[in-house]
Structure 1
Amino acid sequence: MKHLRTVDDVMTRTVVSVDRGTAFKDIAETLRMWHVSVVPVLSGDGRVVGVVSEADLLLRTQDEAGASHDTVAERLMTRPAVTVRRDTTIAGAARLMARGHLKRLPVVDGEGRLVGVVSRGDLLRVYLRPDADIGAEVRELIMYQLLPHRLAEVHVHVADGIVHLRGTLPDADVRDVVVRAARGVPGVVDVEADFSVPVPT
């Protein structure tokens, strides 16, 4: 299974969008047809300038009853749009979604042009990674990259994405480094560590 590390690994590349002049009714129809709750609004050169959500449409119907259907995306959209770059880590995108209580994020290139969209469900795909694959990567990381020349004995067991580490480390300072590194492995839900450190004689 491919290691899912960045937004580019999980995003949807076929994305529905609207332009600044798209009318209220057409936006509502686009949301219905594509079964999405929000669409990016693009400028003429493909840059994301805002987003329009179902909530934006409903708010306008309450504020301007009878005039909503003459309103266009530029007047409805939320701006500036919250976006992510395609090289953003999955964890970074998840934090951004959580802070903004967002369900979907437009993905942009270095020029701000739309290249995809990522949803909460897309980000959760990383946690479907098999435990055996997670364990193999954690062992490789700890024993061959972090501690290649140190005296250490680390046993790794993974169950339901939770990494259980136990064994002996050369000194107490290494523990936090090992645990932090294990948490960064794609698919890891949590890390539990039980290490002992030899007492100097």
Structure 2
Amino acid sequence: MIYDVYTALPTTSVKEVLGTFEKNKIGGVPVVDGKGILVGMVTDGDIVRFLSLQEKVYFTFSMAYVGETEPIEKVLKQRMNTPISEIMVKKNLKTLSTDDTMESALSLLSKHHFKKLPVVNGVGRVVGIISRGDVINRLAKMTSDSLTIS
């Protein structure tokens, strides 16, 4: 588990979150309130989808026209200051507790195709992150510990 967790507030801009991702070589952060309580998650995938170029669609009474996409520079200028509260996942958040087992982590990561899960304490405060890499490393260690070399 990663204990030194980078987090963001709901008011943090998309631009600031991208900076955090790049600087720390991470792909997601829990979004917390002022007390450190989990209120959402935002990942690199959420941001990519938010910033993706959208074709303009124009409707008339009988037809729809698909126009060109906007230039990326225009999209970035319009969207970079958006607070992440507008794009973060807020509903059906999946978390692990400090008491959960390796099996619980493995199950949640595989069932929902997540790359990482926040670990929260009894009051919902983020205390860590479990990533696929953490689980793989643990499984590899468990496997190597149980193997005997003849």
**Alignment partner of 1:56: what SS?**
helix
**Is there any run of 5+ residues in structure 2 with no aligned partner, and where?**
55-73
Aligned to 2:109: 97
Aligned to 2:128: 116
Aligned to 2:90: 79
* Inter-partner Cα distance in structure 1 for 2:49 and 2:142: 40
Report the structure number with the largest CA radius of gyration: 1
* Inter-partner Cα distance in structure 1 for 2:79 and 2:148: 52
Choose between structure 1 and 2 for higher RCO, CA contacts under 8 A separated by at least 6 residues: 2
Aligned to 1:185: none
The offset of 1:130, in angstroms, is: 6.5
Matches within 5 A, 1:152-163: 158=147
**Alignment partner of 2:94: what SS?**
coil
Q: Over residues 147-175 of structure 1, what are the superposed CA-to-partner deviations in whole Å (9 max), with x where a residue is unaligned?
A: xxxxxxxxxxx559xxxxxxxxxxxxxxx
The sequence identity of aligned pairs, in percent, is 29
**Is there any run of 5+ residues in structure 1 with no aligned partner, and where?**
1-10, 135-157, 161-201
Aligned to 1:189: none
TM-score under structure 2 normalisation?
Answer: 0.76
Letter in 2 for 1:36: I
Runs of 4 or more consecutive aligned structure 1 residues displaced over 6 Å after TM superposition: none
**Alignment counterpart, residue 44 of structure 2, candidates 54, 62, 66:** 54
* Cα-Cα RMSD: 2.0
Q: How many residues align?
A: 126
* Inter-partner Cα distance in structure 1 for 2:6 and 2:83: 17
The offset of 1:25, in angstroms, is: 0.4
TM-score under structure 1 normalisation?
Answer: 0.58
